[in-house]
Amino acid sequence: MGMTAADSQFHVLAVDDSLIDRKLIERLLKTSSYQVTTVDSGSKALEFLGWNADVRSNPIENETPVSEKNSQEVEINLVITDYCMPGMTGYDLLKKMKESSSLRNIPVIIMSSENVPSRINRCLEEGAEEFFLKPVRLSDVDKLKPHIMKTKCSDIEKPEKEEKQEKENKESIETSSEIHLQKAQTSNNSKNKSLDEGHSPDKTRPINNDFTVQLIQFGTFSLPLLLLLFLSYS
């Protein structure tokens, strides 16, 4: 397989406690033009990725205290790790990486010489991209690049999506403000119109017809009584 400049930019971290297997995977990766770093344990892998792992004498799952550093010094595009290793297994390493905000997007490939379906499903459910059976072949290494490219494209698209979302939110706020302003202006216009109509000179006081009826009924009364009645209705 010919080397390309694009592939040589990708850096793979290979993790295996077996020296023979480390040399094999290193040779295959370099043949496929990847930059390669090899380590012999999960704790060293975490340390290289930017974590500080204090592996104690009984490193049982979830009992290894790990504190995350501020940043990863070397960019790693993919991690390929053996499943069965003393201390921290490949599955433990996978879990630690997926729990980290800075490492969870790095693709992880698990390798094992044992074909155990439950083990394979366990790793895939935890977030592993592939599960290779040893010995790893060149055809397996060919499957790595799509996973790296998927992560690269995601890293490029993420800022663009955030910028687009920010622009949409700003436009939505501006539109909402314009709608509220229009409603307020419409409400003020309606109030002013109502006030104008309430003071219109066309509005006249209704005639009190009861007063006319009373004058007819008391037509035979004296003038003072009629005057008193007039004043009471005015």
Q: What pLDDT was estimated at residue 66? A: 43
Domain residue extents for the chain? 7-156
pLDDT reported for residue 150: 87
Model confidence band, residue 8 (pLDDT cutoffs 50, 70, 90) = low
pTM (2 decimals)?
Answer: 0.59
Per-position DSSP letters for the chain, written without gaps between them = ----TTGGG-EEEEE-S-HHHHHHHHHHHHHTT-EEEEESSHHHHHHHHTEEE---SS--TT-S-EEE-S--SS--SEEEEES--SSS-HHHHHHHHHH-TTTTTS-EEEEESS--HHHHHHHHHHT-SEEEESSP-HHHHTTHHHHHHHHHHHHHHHHHHHHHHHHHHHHHHHHHHHHHHHHHHHHHHHHHHHHHHHT-TT--PPP-HHHHHHHHHTTTS-HHHHHHHHHHH-
Please state which architecture CATH assigns to domain 7-156: 3-Layer(aba) Sandwich (3.40)
**pLDDT tens readout for residues 94-153:** 999 999 999 999 999 999 999 999 999 999 999 999 999 999 999 999 999 999 998 777
Of all residues in the chain, what percent carry a pLDDT higher than 70?
58
